[in-house]
Amino acid sequence: MEDDTIAAVATPFGIGGIGIIKISGKDAFYIAEAIFQRSNNLPHIATDEPREHGFSLKSHRLYHGHIVHPKTQKVLDEVLLTAMKAPLTYTREDVIEINTHSGSVVLASILDLVIKTGARLADPGEFTKRAYLSGRIDLTQAEAVIDIINSKTEISLEMAMAQIKGGLKRRVESIRGSLINILTEIEAAIDFPEDIEDDVDETSLVNILEQNIIVELSEMVKQHECAHFLRDGFKIMVLGHPNVGKSSLMNRLIQRDRAIVTPIPGTTRDIIEETLNIRGIPFIIADSAGLHETRDPVEIIGMKKTREYLEGSDLVLFMIDADDPFTREDQQIYQSVKDKRVILVINKIDLIKDGLERDIPETWNKMPVSRISALYGDGMNTLKNMIVQHTTGNAHLELKDTVIPNLRHKNALLKSLEHAIAAKEEIRNGTPLELIAIDIQEAMDRLGEIIGVTAKEDVVDHIFSRFCIGK
């Protein structure tokens, strides 16, 4: 447990109605009493009130008053101050929250006074990290705090809420509990072979491993694969030869002039990423320089970035021009995307006057086709429906109260699964119990990483580094 006192501004920087300064740690109440003067003109506060824990501020009360510099007696602001004694607080430490007028100068001068009076500036996520270190929440619940802050759709918020209530933690703990039971049984047989009447009941162990552990772990891995994008966003990449209309499509989808559009081929050079919400599902859409031959050194870097981004994208919108002759570049792009989930987007249909569209190679027929005009907006609804259908096709969208493991969880689940499967095989093959115990222990430890009991320090630090200051 950390024993110093931390403080930070908990509200966004800038001008607003109120700003909040949070203080947590053993000196929080001392600091508050040193810099805060309660309004004494309120009838319900008697001056001879009994002191609680040696402080005049009582726990879980809201006080009106002023922040006053203890040496100069200068009044910094009129505030509302909340005093909360441990352990019923966010961090399980003593916590003071000061609601001030918002404005960077007011907030900075009060924070400065708090720091001079004995607190230290909090690191990003340090309040939540303290909640985790004190055992109030586990690692999955801490991660849910970031997910709630970052939620961009109602579905992702619901998932994060289910996770913060401990849904994922309970599921992982239950599987881990079954593993602990197996390990206890195996270790008893190893340590006291003479006391165990029969040998370990192998059939029953295999059954428990299969039903309570392997099936459950596989199910959770599958849930990540089917639905993680509901929280993380589904990555869409727009690809096509120069000038085909990629940036125009991106702008039309996000309904904003984000990417520069010009008739000059090679306008877009960097990857431009934006979030997008279609029918309540989060997407991350990327416009790029495309993939084509070039000698331009800037474009060459752009192509490299495009290739890297392509690897990680979940859906490609492969765009061709309805009015242009088929090019070698189109064929090359097709080769790069054909093994991915692709929608063939035929753009500029407004230019087709005689109804004659260019021919599409026969092998391309297996791609679903969408015809649009990015310039005028034709076909956009159909394209949006296709995007949803081709990304969420087999996911269950009724996810209320279901928790979906994130990538970190999934990787740990997969490792745990490997060891559980290995242990099952070993039991069947009559491998010595000592070796089976090692695999069971490994399977347990990988699950422990998810909730935090066996997580390495760098993993924990990495998770909290994604937080903002003041959370």
Ligand X SMILES: Nc1nc2c(ncn2[C@@H]2O[C@H](COP(=O)(O)OP(=O)(O)OP(=O)(O)O)[C@@H](O)[C@H]2O)c(=O)[nH]1
Please, what is the minimum distance in Å from the beta carbon of residue 307 to Mg ion?
Answer: 17
Q: Reply yes or no: is the peptide bond before residue 87 cis, omega within 30 of 0.
A: yes
Start-end of H helices in 317-453: 328-337, 380-392, 407-429, 433-451
Q: Using the rule CB under 6 A, is 134 a contact of ligand X?
A: no
The two three-digit tokens of residue 186, written as one number: 């195996």
| Residue 374 binding ligand X, by CB under 6 A | yes
Would you give the end-to-end CA distance of the chain in angstroms?
18
Told to check if 267 binds ligand X by CB under 6 A, we report yes
Q: Shortest gap between Cβ of 353 and ligand X (angstroms)? A: 11
Q: Is 87 in the site for ligand X (CB under 6 A)?
A: no
Q: How far apart are CA 288 and CA 303, in angstroms?
A: 8
Residue type, 62: L
C-alpha triplet 384, 262, 378: angle, nearest 5°: 30
Query: Is residue 252 part of the contact set for ligand X (CB under 6 A)?
Result: no
- The answer to the question of residue 448 lying near ligand X (CB under 6 A) is no
Region near Mg ion per CB under 5 A, out of 161-169, 215-223, 263-271, 325-333: 263-271
Q: Which of 98, 129, 108, 91 is nearest to 32 (CA)?
A: 98
Name which position in 161, 375, 453, 460 contacts ligand X (CB under 6 A).
Answer: 375
| Contact call for residue 99 and Mg ion (CB under 5 A) | no
> Which does residue 424 touch among Mg ion, ligand X, none (CB within 5 to 8 A, set by kind)?
none
The DSSP letter of residue 211 is I
- Is residue 306 involved in binding Mg ion (CB under 5 A)? no
Applying CB under 6 A, does 248 fall inside the site for ligand X?
Answer: yes
Residue the block writes with tokens 């491993």? 209
- Name which position in 261, 337, 342, 433 contacts ligand X (CB under 6 A): 261
The nearest distance, CB 77 to Mg ion, in angstroms, is 49
Task: Give the interface segment with ligand X, choosing from 134-142, 160-168, 266-274, 459-467 (CB under 6 A).
Answer: 266-274
Own/partner long-range contacts of 57-63 (Cβ < 8 Å, ≥24 apart): 57/29, 57/32, 57/33, 57/81, 57/83, 58/83, 59/83, 59/84, 59/85, 59/88, 60/84, 60/85, 60/88, 63/36, 63/38
> Least distance in Å: CB of 303 to ligand X?
11
Q: Which tokens go with 401?
A: 């109260």
**Quick one: what does residue 243 bind among ligand X, Mg ion, none, with the CB cut-off 5 to 8 Å set by partner type?**
ligand X
Count of residues that bind ligand X according to CB under 6 A = 23
Question: CB under 6 A: which stretch of 169-177, 196-204, 371-379, 406-414 binds ligand X?
Answer: 371-379
What are the φ and ψ backbone dihedral angles of 36, each rounded to 5 degrees? -110, 130
Residue 357 DSSP class: P
Asked if 268 interacts with ligand X (CB under 6 A), we say: yes
Q: What are phi and psi of 35, to 5 degrees?
A: -115, -5
Could you give the string, one character per residue 276-315, with x where binding to ligand X holds by CB under 6 A and - elsewhere? --------------x-------------------------
Tokens representing residue 77 in the block: 């602001």
CB of 279 to ligand X, least distance (A): 23
Token pair 């559009």: residue: 261
CB of 301 to ligand X, least distance (A): 15
124 binds ligand X (CB under 6 A): no
Distance CA 114, CA 22 (A): 10
Applying CB under 5 A, does 82 fall inside the site for Mg ion?
A: no
350 binding ligand X? (CB under 6 A): yes
Give the C-alpha separation, 36 to 66, whole Å: 6
**Which residues are near ligand X by CB under 6 A?**
240, 242-248, 261-263, 265-268, 290, 347-348, 350-351, 373-375
**Which residues are near Mg ion by CB under 5 A?**
246-247, 267-268
